[in-house]
Amino acid sequence: MSETAVKKKKKKRNPVRRVILLLILLGIAGLIGFGIYNSLKQEYTVVYDAYTASTGTISNALSFSGSLALIDSKTYTAGGEATVRGVYAEVGDKVTKNQRLLRLSDGTTITADFDGTVNVLEKKKDDEVYGGDTLVQIADFDHMKVTMRIDEYDITDVAVGQDCVITVTATEQQIQSTIATINFISTASYNVAYYTATAYVDVPEGMQIYPGMQVTVSIPKEEAKDVVVLKTDALTFDRQNNASVYKQKEDGTFEQVAVEVGVSNGNYVEIKSGVADGETVYVESKAKTTAVSPFAGMFGTQVNQPAMGGSNRGNMNGSRSGTGSSRTGGTMPGGNAPGGGMR
């Protein structure tokens, strides 16, 4: 065989060797990639959020929305054609029952039917009036009422005579009152029965509130004073609704400790036992993936110790109230508490 033929034969073999070499390299790259993926998938750091217990007062309440309305108001009109002979009050004047307001030429004298304030005065002295014309309007702005709707889930917890706190939404002013009446004939909305309750408002002197203003009516239920209070987010609940927290031991590991809870308002909860004032507890946060060496999954396993999250101190005094026909808090955090299960 000539030298030229040998060279041609060697050239024909080169592409096969290249393909084999490429396949080998791809296989090695695949193994390295699998190792990286396996390491990133398995290696992570558990993060714990910290909460510190404190001493305070906690309470909860039923909360309903409503609006202010007048109890007494009256508009006086002319009975026929006449002339205004006398005007004895001005807009904004406080008047008492039976006080004279207007006198007409036909002998009619308009007097107040109740204590109130002159809200509208349409005529002045010597004006001509005709039957049906508005003359004057008075309203009692010092005594008003609030009507609220209570759904079928809360009505058994509401009774005539209960103390309540009425908070005016626009001004945030509060007035103490009591539940005066309950209408137990219901109306329905979205397959839920609603009942109507009424509370009366004696407006303190100098407080400027008016009919139509929106209010929140809170009915206190439970209160615990000078107790250990902890953020509800710090608790873990199992399927039997038993509460627990995580505490850090001297060696840096965490242990789960059962706690007894009391009054809750949804955000904070009374701790009856298991956690002391000033003690810091932890709750497991979402697992955080940690980047590792590309060869960690191939040549060994890296063990990461749990890392603690930042401090989130919980402190709470007083009660929390919301608007709408709904509960604010409850005796137990119940199913609304985070955690979902004992780990």
* pLDDT (tens digit per residue) in 279-316: 999 988 765 555 545 444 444 334 333 333 333 333 34
Of the candidate CATH numbers 2.40.50.100, 1.10.10.10, 3.30.530.20, 1.10.3720.10, the domain formed by 72-139 belongs to 2.40.50.100
* pLDDT tens for each residue of 63-120: 999 999 999 999 999 999 999 999 999 999 999 999 999 999 999 999 999 999 999 9
pLDDT beyond 70 at 153: yes
Q: How far apart are CA 243 and CA 273, in angstroms?
A: 11
pTM of the model: 0.58
> For residue 4, what pLDDT band results from cuts at 50, 70 and 90?
low
Candidates 3.30.200.20, 3.40.50.720, 2.40.420.20, 3.90.950.10; CATH matching 45-59+223-336: 2.40.420.20
Q: Are 155 and 195 in contact (CB under 8 A)?
A: yes
Mean pLDDT estimate for the chain:
80
CATH 2.40.420.20-classified regions of the chain: 45-59+223-336
Segment 3-32 mean pLDDT = 65
In 203-325, beta strands by DSSP E: 214-231, 236-237, 243-248, 254-264, 268-273, 280-284, 288-289, 307-311, 318-319
Please report the pLDDT score of residue 38 as a whole number.
59
